[in-house]
Amino acid sequence: MKKNPLIAKLTLLTLATALCSAGPAAAQVAGSSTAVGVAVLTSTQIASGWSVKKTLLGKHVYNDAGQKVGEVEDLIISPDKSVSYVIVGAGGFVGLGRHDVAIPVKQIQDQGGKLVLAGATKESIKALPAFDYAPDNAKRDQFIAAAEQDIAKGKAKLVALEKQTGAAATSAKTQLETQITALQGDVKTAEAKLGELKQAATDHWQEFAASVSAATARVRKAL
């Protein structure tokens, strides 16, 4: 059975991904070699290997009639480190706005350096569901948890300051009250900014992260 040339090339990408995930290694110098497990991969082999950036990303995808149907935007590598899908940006080629679609690697052939998706038509591409990246909810949740912790500490500090004010001498009360007023404003601002982030779509939360970080930084400074 004749192998798909594109799959053969992507196998090299899989190897590179596995090597990168194996852990830190010494710097690679021309003419040297790097040991990974029991294998040795020389810099010469790396230099003569296949580059995803130069050979695949950004390349046009054609159907078997020679019509452009999209452009390679990304590769999706499954958890077992096998390349599963090529992400093709097809919007401008099929008369739509942004319309990325996921195409199984085995369906795309490398024919003399030309990527061909046999049987593809503008209509069939339009009919495919648009691909979107899953939101990184873990980072968002961690960010929110850290911000909420800073706000909780700010509120706890306010309670402590209010107790101090009640027992303080008249000369010290003014300073404590000023400190309380400033911290109350910082906490209120941080809560408002965090509220905006929480209400935002999960894939846009990072657009609000800077303002939340600035607000919680002022709270931490007051502590």
pTM of the full structure? 0.47
pLDDT per residue as tens digits for the range 28-47: 443 344 444 334 445 555 55
Residues counted in the chain? 223
Place of tokens 């303002």: 211
| Domain boundaries along the sequence of the chain | 5-127, 137-222
- Residue whose tokens read 């002022």: 218
- For tokens 């080629």, name the residue: 93
Residue keyed to tokens 């599963």: 84
Class of domain 5-127: mainly beta
What confidence tens digit (pLDDT) does each residue in 93-152 have? 878 888 889 888 888 888 888 889 998 888 888 888 888 877 678 888 999 999 999 999
| Rounded-to-integer distance, Cα 154 and Cα 150, Å | 6
